[in-house]
Structure 1
Amino acid sequence: MDMWKKLHLKSDSLVVLSPPAIFDKYLDAIKETHLVSESISEPFSYLLAFVTCQEELPHIIVNVRKHAVEDPVVWFAFPKRTSKLSKNLSRDKGFERIGQIGYEAVSNISIDENWSALRFRKVEHIKTMIRLSCGTISVVGKKRTADNKGPAGRAEVEAKKVRATKEVDQPVQKQLKPEAKKRAVQVTKEKRKI
């Protein structure tokens, strides 16, 4: 599959930050048809930023906040854990700072044996967010997934109900006689199954 198709390149211009030498072949393939910039200095609709550690993110994120158009395509490419370049970034850890400006990860691809890329999107442009709120990095994303009607949201709501039932039922069980206590435990177990 064409790399740019995987990266959802539909724009005529793009910003590519700190590409490794092995990515040159992909850039050469589009240089005649696309305007490629190596810095963020004006509004952009497409960004592919190669980063190797969390410390590189703040400067890029400030520029994303300042120069991104309404619904940009924003990719952060990072070394896979198996790569010698790997430091403190992974699909699940290290990108919390972009959540501070209201973005959430929506897609994950493999670029090659050493690099992966995560696509981020502003929460208000994500149609459905089916994930647990603990898997989100933005305040807006956590609010949206807490009330999620999808399977992940329902699972979280059910887990909260079970925790609430445990807390309420335990003090009540202490006050009951042994026979009633057995029945209360059975009812609690049945509630958890539902």
Structure 2
Amino acid sequence: MPESALARKMKLKSGAKAVVVNPPDGYLAELRPLPNGVSLGDKLQGSFDWIQIFVKNEAELEKTLPRAIKAMKPVSILWISFPKGTSKIQTDLTRDKGWEALEKADLKWLTLVSVNAVWSAFAARPFKSGEAR
């Protein structure tokens, strides 16, 4: 069975060691089916190729981000999912505000995607050697 459109959009690759932290109810069903050979965890223990964290506000981002960064490999993609402004979830994160912790982490911003009707996600990765900051 081919992977879900969401897994493709979020660049989840075959064989990846992946983790989703604090997913909302029903989210993992949206992410499935996964690409072949993906192992999916729910705790930031060890290192991962693909990491997705769900945070509702800047305080949760500041609390979770250091553990997520510690679990990254040099080629990892980190997705930070946050509530859309149109969702009913109270948040102080927007596309343009609340990302100081991510900026301080010295990660390269890659893209912003719509996860579903409630959540958006920024992708980031470590800078490659010699890459402009």
Q: In structure 2, what is the equivalent of residue 39 of structure 1? A: 43
Q: Which runs of 4+ in 1 moved over 3 A?
A: 123-128
Matched residues, number? 129
* CA distance in 2 between partners of 1:37 and 1:46 (Å): 10
Alignment of 1:121 onto 2:125: yes
Q: Which 5+ residue runs of structure 2 have no aligned equivalent? A: none
* CA distance in 1 between partners of 2:8 and 2:35 (Å): 15
Structure that is richer in helix per residue:
1
Q: In structure 2, what is the equivalent of residue 6 of structure 1? A: 9
RMSD: 2.3
Stretch deviating more after TM superposition (36-45 or 55-64): 55-64
Higher relative contact order (CA 8 A, sep 6+): 2
TM-score of the aligned structures, taking structure 2 as reference length: 0.84
Structure that is richer in strand per residue:
2
Q: In structure 2, what is the equivalent of residue 134 of structure 1? A: none
Q: In structure 2, what is the equivalent of residue 90 of structure 1? A: 94
| Shift of residue 48, structure 1, vs aligned partner | 0.7
| Larger Rg, first or second structure (1 or 2) | 1
Alignment of 1:58 onto 2:52: no
| Shift of residue 94, structure 1, vs aligned partner | 1.1
* CA distance in 2 between partners of 1:2 and 1:32 (Å): 14
Look up the SS of the partner of 1:63 in the other structure: helix
Q: Percent identity?
A: 25
Q: Which 5+ residue runs of structure 1 have no aligned equivalent? A: 129-140, 142-194
Alignment of 1:76 onto 2:73: no
Distance 1:6 1:127, change over 3 A: farther
